[in-house]
Amino acid sequence: MSVNPAEAFAGFLLVFFLPGFAVTRAVFPEWRLRGALAIERAVETATLSLVTSVALTILIGFALLQSPSGFQASWSDPLLELCLGAVTFLGLVVGWWRGAYRREPPATPAPEPAPGDSNAWETLRDLEANARERRRLAHALRRTPPGSREAEELEERRRALEVKSEELRRAREAEYAG
């Protein structure tokens, strides 16, 4: 049995690369294989193309085996080749429509802000300042004679700082919960 090398290469690409590449470009049209991230994107694209192609081949083969089409589970079955070619074509069309093959990439979708992202540093800075001040007041309270007017004022300021810290924490937790 003689195998034509061109057919073998085309079959290899159809099973292990092309459907996954087309789907990858359709899903991630903003990825470009040039610029500062060229090597990283090339490795990501090649890896994702291989894995996606194998997964698609398995899924399509399983679907064909379950169908009453008479599929015989052969790599060279024209029905499998037709289905993989259709997936590749569909992926290329969707990728072209989404701008994957234009010179300028489409805009990357803006990530949604995570809950609690706003004012995180300010809140943390305020909580740390309150904690430092409470420690300073606790030290001053230990050095002040108990029951004196100064001790009462220091204790009152320490309690006010604890209330303020608790309010900051609750507001921050409400941001995460909401």
Q: Which residue is it, tokens 């193309």?
A: 49
CA 6 to chain centre: 39
1-17 pLDDT tens trace = 688 888 888 888 988 99
Residue 64 · residue 83 · CB < 8 Å: yes
Identify the weakest region by mean pLDDT among 50-54, 62-66, 72-76. Answer: 72-76
As a whole number of angstroms, the distance between CA 172 and CA 121 comes to: 11
Average pLDDT, the chain: 86
User: Which of 116, 104, 128 is CA-nearest to residue 170?
Assistant: 116
H helices, E strands: number in the chain: 6, 0
pTM: 0.58
Report the distance separating Cα 55 and Cα 135, nearest Å: 59
For residue range 81-108, what is the model confidence (pLDDT) as tens digits? 899 999 999 999 999 999 888 888 777 7
Q: What are the residue ranges spanned by the domains of the chain?
A: 5-98, 120-177
| pLDDT of res. 1 | 62
The pair of structure tokens assigned to 119 is 């004012």
**Can you give the pLDDT at residue 121?**
79
User: What burial class does residue 83 get, using C-beta atoms within 10 Å of its C-beta: 0-12 exposed, 13-18 middle, 19+ buried?
Assistant: buried
